[in-house]
């Protein structure tokens, strides 16, 4: 029986994982496979991702014999990282299946297609990066102010302990100057 590790990822908090999870779980149920879903909201450019790391740990402990993803770029956009993962899957005799496009690394054609699609995904990521850089440079030349407006507050939760440590260091410097 197949023990399937499903990996789902979106890049930002405002995106949903349901679009990926639904067809992956449906496939597992249709085939009668047991599965566990690893899901996270983080950029695919990051090599170290919490849920990916947990999945890899479980794979190394032989808890799963198959990895199932919705699209190749959900696992990673870097060709070298993607190929490193697939090579590790192959070395541990773990089947890798991607639903869209349909790729199964148990065949030579599937492996070839995976390499081509990984290269295309990396090209796409680099092209997005270039377009964003060109747009930001254009806006700067036009005098558009980028970032938060002056006087606005950062609304993200921050660790206060780091703030207090920095504040105490500044207080010490100020008291040394006054003495």
Residue range(s) defining the domain that contains residue 23: 3-123
Q: Is 47 helix (H, G, I), strand (E, B) or coil?
A: coil
The reply to whether 99 falls in a domain is yes
The reply to whether 75 falls in a domain is yes
**Domain count of the chain?**
1
The Cα diameter of the chain in Å comes to: 77
The reply to whether 82 falls in a domain is yes
> Half-sphere exposure (CA, 13 Å, Cβ side) for 73?
12
* In the block, residue with structure tokens 């908090």: 13
Is this prediction's pTM over 0.75? no
Which residue(s) pair with 166 in the sheet? none
Q: Is 53 helix (H, G, I), strand (E, B) or coil?
A: helix
Which residue(s) pair with 35 in the sheet? 4
* pLDDT tens digits along 120-160: 777 887 898 899 999 999 998 998 888 777 777 766 666 65
Domain of 88: which CATH number? 3.40.50.1390
Which residues carry out catalysis? 11
Eight-class DSSP state of 14? T
Residues belonging to the chain:
179
- Residue-level pLDDT at 48: 77
């Amino acid at each position: 029986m197949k023990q399937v590790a499903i990996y789902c990822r979106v890049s930002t908090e405002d995106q949903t994982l349901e679009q990926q999870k639904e067809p992956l779980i449906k496939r597992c149920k249709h085939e009668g496979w047991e599965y566990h879903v690893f899901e996270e909201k983080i950029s695919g450019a990051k090599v170290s991702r919490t849920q990916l790391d947990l999945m890899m740990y479980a794979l190394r402990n032989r808890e799963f014999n198959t990895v199932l993803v919705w699209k190749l770029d959900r696992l990673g956009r870097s060709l070298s990282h993607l190929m490193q993962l697939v090579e590790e899957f192959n070395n541990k005799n773990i089947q890798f299946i991607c639903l869209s496009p349909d790729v199964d690394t148990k065949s030579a054609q599937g492996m070839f297609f995976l390499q081509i699609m990984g290269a295309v995904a990396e090209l796409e990521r680099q092209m997005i990066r270039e377009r964003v850089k060109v747009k930001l440079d254009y806006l700067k030349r036009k005098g558009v102010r980028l970032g938060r407006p002056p006087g606005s507050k950062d609304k993200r939760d921050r660790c206060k302990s780091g703030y207090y440590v920095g504040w105490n260091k500044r207080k010490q410097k100020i008291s040394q100057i006054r003495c």
